[in-house]
Amino acid sequence: MELKEALPRETLEQLRRDFETEGYCLAKGLFSPERVEALNKHFEEIHADGGVPGFYATESKEEAKGDVLREFPRVSHPHRFSQTAKDYMIDEKVGAILAALFEEEVLATQSMYYFKPPGARGQSLHQDQYYLKVKPGNCIAAWTALDFCDRENGGMMIVPGTQDLEIDCSKLGAANSYEGGPSIPIPNGLKATIPEMQPGDTLFFNGCLIHGSGPNRTKDRWRRAFIGHYVAKSCASLTDHYSPLVDFEGNNVERAVTTDGGPCGGVLR
């Protein structure tokens, strides 16, 4: 099945209109409850085994000293050691939507899995293109909820209308946003929103869209998520951390490294 045939044309057209207007679009029920459950179980098993050498390491509750994100850290690039994660990252329905948004073939650059247990801190407001430094063009994120997500458990926070902004370079050299570094300020006249998402819903958003998340304030609800970042096939270079890229046939693809620091110049952490 070709990517463009993986979803109804009317669905793709509506998602594209939403994306162009707001900087994001929400594909509801993109993944079945069975696939969501299987993915969560897969990462539960990885965590129970103590992680994967060279990719993901856990800490005991005693070692974490009360920091649940040290006990349950995010998993970076799981597609490089897990076929299950790779299949999720290059799912044909994800590819169909991305092809409609990019208007060309697509390459995957990154995968991530977040556990975000109760008590976990949030992620500062940021723009993905600040880090990926895609040239030419931009990146798009696909953020899939693996639990019910809302404000209380730290659901994804986005600022509609910021997709056309320049990259904010004022935090050059600041602490990584994942570790609670400074947030990009929300422009005057715009407001952040936290869409409620059911497990299996996927949020696609522009690499310049300001986004982040609040803490998980609940006592018993996790906010697990699987995230992929993608670029158009015409991308010539990006940050070296993301190479090799992967096409939707599962093949590795090489691209040059952006060496000038991207839109902000210099070297970004």
CATH number, position 105? 2.60.120.620
Q: Is 74 part of a structural domain of the chain? A: yes
Q: Is 146 part of a structural domain of the chain? A: yes
More confident: 180 or 158: 158
Q: Residues with Cβ < 8 Å from 25, sequence gap 6 or more?
A: 14, 15, 16, 18, 19, 97, 101, 203, 204, 205
Per-residue pLDDT averaged across 16-22, rounded?
97
Burial 142-151 (b: 16+ CB within 10 A, else e): bbbbbbebbe
CA distance 127 to 16: 20
Domains of the chain: total: 1
The pLDDT score that the predictor gives to residue 66 is 87
The pLDDT score that the predictor gives to residue 182 is 77
Judge contact between 87 and 225, C-beta under 8 A.
no
Q: Is 100 part of a structural domain of the chain? A: yes
Structural tokens at position 132: 């990926």
Q: Is 247 part of a structural domain of the chain? A: yes
Counting Cα atoms < 13 Å in the Cβ hemisphere of 159 gives: 24
Helices (H) and strands (E) in the chain, counts: 7, 15
Write out the residue range of the structural domain in which residue 257 sits: 3-264
CA distance 67 to 193: 27
Per-residue pLDDT averaged across 106-114, rounded?
97
pLDDT tens digits, one per residue of 123-157: 999 999 999 999 999 999 999 999 999 999 999 99
Q: Is 174 part of a structural domain of the chain? A: yes
- Residue 106 CA, chain-centre distance (Å), reads 15
pLDDT band, residue 175 (cuts 50/70/90): very low
The pLDDT score that the predictor gives to residue 268 is 44
Q: How far apart are the first and last CA of the chain?
A: 40
For the chain, percent of residues with pLDDT exceeding 90: 80
> From edge to edge, which strands make up the β-sheet containing 156-158?
123-126, 211-213, 156-158
Q: Is 269 part of a structural domain of the chain? A: no
Burial class (CB in 10 A: 0-12, 13-18, 19+), 251: exposed
Per-residue pLDDT averaged across 182-188, rounded?
89
The pLDDT score that the predictor gives to residue 181 is 67
pLDDT tens digits, one per residue of 188-222: 999 999 999 999 999 999 999 999 999 999 999 99
pLDDT tens digits, one per residue of 52-100: 988 888 888 889 898 999 999 999 999 999 999 999 999 999 999 999 9
What is the average pLDDT score of the chain?
Answer: 92
The pLDDT score that the predictor gives to residue 266 is 60
Q: 25-29, 56-60, 78-82, 262-266: which range is least confident on average?
A: 262-266
Structural tokens at position 135: 């040239």
Per-residue pLDDT averaged across 7-25, rounded?
96
Q: Is 205 part of a structural domain of the chain? A: yes
CA distance 222 to 4: 34
Per-residue pLDDT averaged across 253-260, rounded?
93
Q: Is 250 part of a structural domain of the chain? A: yes
